[in-house]
Amino acid sequence: MPNSGSAGRVRRRSVSATGSRSWWPGPGTPNERTHMARITLVGEAAGEVESRDDETVLAALHRAGHAVRSGCRRGGCGICKVDLVEGDVAYTHPVAPSVLSDAERADGACLSCRAVPEGDVAVRLREHDRGKHNGLFALYASLGITPPS
């Protein structure tokens, strides 16, 4: 696994029926993606979103109208953290350990503004983002406008 301050892949996490977690490196690199990924929201904000090629988790969620909080949108603040329940994400830009620690990564946290799904993933929104939906976010995304923070 790359060090916390570098770009790279986050290892896949699988949760078994008993709730135990196992880790293993995911195949391929971000540039080898050939299909759109499905982002499944688990928990109270259940639903599915199709991501576009090389689209971040945050961009896909905003495009679908989910009002996930974000700040800098460049991996510097950590406001956009979500919990990766299953699947692989890649960071194509460095992520500072002060924003996402090794312990947080091990627990499945990812920065949605920088995380690009490498295939189908399942994420759980943080408590402050659950159940929030904003149709304006979907409109902004369809027009290519960055939604306000």
For residue range 78-118, list pLDDT tens digits in order.
989 999 999 999 998 888 999 999 999 999 999 999 999 99
Confidence band (pLDDT; 50, 70, 90) for 62? confident
> What are the backbone dihedrals phi and psi of residue 102, each rounded to the nearest 5 degrees, phi first?
-60, -40
First to last CA, the chain: 32
CATH architecture of 8-143: Roll (3.10)
pTM of the prediction? Answer: 0.67
Q: With H, G, I as helix, E, B as strand and everything else as coil, classify residue 105.
A: helix
Domain boundaries, the chain: 8-143
Distance in angstroms (rounded) separating the CA atoms of residues 36 and 146: 21
